Structure 1
Amino acid sequence: MPKAKFKTSMVLGVRRQRRVVQLKDIKNKEKRKQVWAKRKVEIAKTKDKLYQKRRKKRLKFGFKAAPFEIKTQESKRVPDETTITGYDEEVEGEHQMDEFSAHFSQLAKPKICITTSIRPMKVHFFFLLQKKKRTPFSPFN
């Protein structure tokens, strides 16, 4: 079940008899605050009703009945012709001619310089010593 979607016009609009009055059209500041507070409570109630409906569905039929879709940048991205999926010979050829190809094929040893502030705390110092042991070619300055 899709999440509750409220358009800006619907959120800011308040019904007065047959017409919808926009919140910005209410000139009196106190009245506008009161109307907005009521509208905010209505929105919260409708969202809660939808949530409870999904929750009951999940309890009854399991999670797959009403899955919760987490929206991330990757899931919202619209695929276009420049998107590469799977193996592509042309891209692999570019990776082999890349300036970092020696590092990725582990032919060159990475050079890491570990730096800190002027006087690191004791805890940080022990952490840095552990890091230095794990990365052999990393000078500490």
Structure 2
Amino acid sequence: MVKQEKTLSESKIKNLLPGVMNKSRKIQLMLKMKFELRKQKKKDRELRKKERKIKGLAPLQPKTIESMRVPEDSIVLEDNKEVKIDEAIDEFAKHFSGEIEPKIILTTKKKPSSKLIDFCQEFIGVIPNLEFYERRDFLIKDIIEYAKNREYTDLLIFNERNKEPEGLWIIHLPDGPTAHFKVSSTWKRKEIPNHGNPTGYNPELILKNFDARLGQRVARMFMALFPQKPEFRGRCVVTFKNQRDFIFFRHHRYIFKNEGQKIALQEVGPRMTLKLRSLQEGAFEVKNSKFEFLYHANMQVSRKKFFI
């Protein structure tokens, strides 16, 4: 067993300081002692690390909010047969079976700012088969009927506050579900340093950390926006990463260097962060709709409890 003897301690620092009357000298001495204490603590950590290695023990992992996540019954295992049966007959089943191809309408709130329109138009190069329409004075229910009659599969609606994107509705057609997200941390392509340009190819899709049952529903909704067959020749990748119930959206392209010996990522944009506010059955059913998830402030009591 490695002996851990500290040359200095917090109590020793406190005991020494009362004897120093000069204020500036006391501060200098305190800083010096704290530096020595940190140095000794680091040395002790290295000794403990070396001791674990000698004993053949695995190195200790730092504690994070993710690693201390409150266990939930809704965490889905890969071999869960019940979930697979549900997914085989859910609203997105036709997309994953290849019966239909995504066909999407993107629009905004009424009377949008030019900044919101510019932000929306950047998604035309990200999501294939996406068409942007001006909202004008049309009601959402009328847009949904228009989209259903022309066999569109999804409707995306961006809202704004103070001329900044603030919300996103994703309505899967014809039978739902409908998801509402809070939007934050938006960057347009021109705001991203050394950004690339969209290639127009079907992107590869990466979804990470959608572990709960609700998370898998949201992930399937995102996946239904993109074609099933990515075109790897275009070297494009779209990422949805869930971290502490915040979903980070990124769009990159691969860059090969040194004749394919090295690879780098170049961000194309746009980028944004999503926070799920609600998920309800049906295609934007205002009355008699059932919510699969509805966020309220009381749900965020513990920082270690996540839903996605």
Q: Which has the higher contact order (CA 8 A, sep 6+)?
A: 2
Higher radius of gyration, 1 or 2? 1
Task: Give the TM-score range, shorter chain.
Answer: 0.3 to 0.5
**Structure with greater helix percent:** 1
- TM-score normalised to the size of structure 2? 0.26
**Structure with greater strand percent:** 2
